[in-house]
Amino acid sequence: MKKTVIIIPARYSSTRLCGKLLMEVDNKPIIQWVWEAAKKSKMADEVIIATDSELILNKAKSFGAQVEMTSNEHKSGSDRICEVAKRHNEYDYILNMQGDEPQITPEVIDLAIQTLIESDCDISTLVRQITDTEQIQDPNCVKCVFDNNYNALYFSRCPIPYERNKGEAKYYAHIGIYGYKRESLIKMTSLEQSDLEKAESLEQLRALKHGMKIKVAITNLNPIEIDTQQDLDKFIKIQKSKN
């Protein structure tokens, strides 16, 4: 029987908010919020945190997570999880789950896994429809266009499609969670970075450039990604309102 592992890449350094994964909300670090959601997945057999930081390693151990050290020279999260995946030949499906999305849900995680398993794609990922003009124009909000079979055509920080005819465009924001078939992860991380990836700083464009198939599934979830202090403050405010 084929098995699935969720690997959470957890780099300590971050350009905009260094050490964000260890910042606490309701007495739990951000990385623990993500790990707890992953552990509730019905389709994953194991959850592993992959880090380059002794601080994150020790914190993850303190709340009971399985955690492994990786090189600090990786250029992307997929490169980091591939290092760990190569140590575990028992897993056929690997889910790359961002460590800075504390609002991610088990249901959305399982949607990404199910999409991977049930299609002939190399990679699965998630999108949500957006209508807010500010989000559409925001380069930090990555947009995706896909065909009638939900195969991704392109990802961009620009608004795609360009709306020449008003009212005709639908916009979808990418949610940074990826499911990989084992051989697809190894293949993608062995490829050279493409010009598109370097230009947009989006690693999924490396896969598309080399003809790999990315299948998208649509969700209504709109999770906060903790990139800045403002994002963290927003998440704290939401949790306070719940409590």
Mean pLDDT by 10 residues, the chain (243 residues): 96 84 95 97 98 96 97 88 96 96 96 97 98 93 97 98 94 96 96 93 95 98 90 93 84
Residue identified by tokens 């919020």 is: 33
**Nearest by Cα to 145 from 169, 109, 120, 110:** 169
**CA 103 – CA 221 distance, rounded (Å):** 9
pLDDT of residue 235: 94
Q: Environment class of residue 28 by beta-carbon count within 10 Å: exposed (0-12), middle (13-18) or buried (19+)?
A: middle
CA distance 239 to 243: 6
Coil vs helix vs strand at 24: strand
Amino acid 211: pLDDT: 97
Query: 129 forms bridges with which residues in the sheet?
Result: 172
What is the model's pLDDT at position 74?
87
Please give the residue range of the domain that contains residue 238. Answer: 4-242
Number of domains forming the structure of the chain: 1
Strand boundaries in 19-101, DSSP class E: 24-25, 28-29, 46-51, 66-69, 93-97
Torsion of CA 210, 127, 83, 106, to 10 degrees: -150
pLDDT computed for residue 14 by the predictor? 77
Looking up residue 193, the CATH number of its domain turns out to be 3.90.550.10
- Specify the pLDDT at position 75: 80
Half-sphere exposure of 120 (CA within 13 A, CB side): 1
Nearest Cα neighbor of 223 from 141, 156, 110, 134 is 141
Question: CA-to-CA distance for 153 and 99, rounded, in angstroms?
Answer: 26
What pLDDT, on the 0 to 100 scale, is given for residue 208? 97
